């Protein structure tokens, strides 16, 4: 881990972020990700080694614990701060919870109350109202947003506006959604190529069109970039005309 951190800094990394929150089985099988929460001594060894190895800030993401009866997030948080971690992100579920069930914010609030370093709350932040409520409840210094932004990259702008003004921001028009989605698709095609690009695009488009299951099903049968773009262009043109 220390050598990997040094290699990334040599390539220009300005920060090293360690993820001890991933619950994926393929990660857990290697005793990585959130599996590390079962071994506080190993957590301490890893964090101490990485912090000592680089001059850039080292941050950490964790969960509230391995399971609901082994919720040791506060202990891990203290280990992290003592090791020199500069900021801590906490997902409000245990490893055993995966991404199911309600997020538990009490542990995040307790960690924030105890630590001196910035604490970032994570988990089920899907709306601007969610963001405001979670910040108020946990007193966290910031928010980390993952799945809530899938198909809704405007969420960050909506949250910022709500926190600044206390009012909701108008939803983007279909024209704006299509402009952003086009940019997203061209990026996918350019990065992954004309074979894998359209395949990977299916899940991304599915997030943008999650309220249109029939449309998503039709889109998933399209095999190449041109047909995908034509299909979506026709859809958004028709919705814009209906709105007008």
The one catalytic residue in 22, 27, 169, 200 is 22
The CATH number of whichever domain residue 86 belongs to comes to 3.20.20.70
- Residues 68, 49 share a domain: yes
Provide the domain count of the chain. Answer: 2
- What is the predicted pLDDT for the residue at 243? 64
Q: Which residues form the domain of 191? A: 174-243
Q: Is 22 a catalytic residue?
A: yes
The four Cα atoms 203, 209, 211, 216 give a dihedral, to 10 degrees, of -60
- DSSP sequence for 3-40: HHHHHHHHTT-S-EEEEE----HHHHTTT-GGGGGG-H
Provide the greatest CA pair distance for the chain.
62
pLDDT class for 24, splitting at 50, 70, 90? confident
Final residue belonging to a domain, choices 125, 148, 165: 165
Average pLDDT over residues 132-150: 97
Average pLDDT over residues 111-139: 97
- Residues 214, 133 share a domain: no
- Residues 92, 198 share a domain: no
DSSP letter (8 states) at residue 151: T
- What is the predicted pLDDT for the residue at 78? 98
Mean pLDDT of the chain: 94
């Amino acid at each position: 881990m220390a050598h990997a951190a040094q290699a990334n800094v040599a390539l220009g990394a300005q920060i090293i972020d360690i993820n001890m929150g991933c619950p994926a089985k393929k990660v857990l099988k290697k005793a990585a990700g959130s599996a590390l929460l079962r071994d506080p001594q190993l957590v301490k060894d890893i964090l101490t080694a990485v912090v000592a190895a680089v001059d850039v800030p080292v941050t950490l993401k964790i969960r509230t614990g391995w399971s609901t009866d082994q919720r040791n997030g506060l202990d891990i948080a203290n280990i992290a701060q003592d090791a020199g971690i500069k900021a801590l992100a906490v997902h409000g579920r245990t490893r055993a919870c995966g991404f199911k069930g309600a997020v538990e914010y009490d542990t995040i609030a307790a960690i924030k109350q105890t630590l001196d370093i910035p604490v970032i709350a994570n988990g089920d932040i899907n709306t601007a109202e969610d963001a405001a409520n979670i910040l108020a409840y946990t007193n966290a210094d910031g928010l980390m947003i993952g799945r809530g932004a899938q198909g809704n990259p405007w969420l960050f702008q909506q949250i910022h506006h709500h926190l600044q003004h206390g009012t909701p921001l108008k939803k983007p028009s279909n024209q704006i959604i299509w402009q952003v989605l086009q940019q997203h698709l061209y990026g996918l095609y350019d990065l992954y190529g004309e074979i894998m690009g359209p395949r990977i695009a299916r899940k991304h488009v599915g997030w943008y069109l999650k309220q249109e299951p029939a449309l998503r099903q039709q889109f998933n049968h399209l095999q190449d970039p041109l047909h995908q773009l034509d299909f979506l262009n026709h859809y958004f043109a028709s919705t814009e005309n209906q709105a007008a």
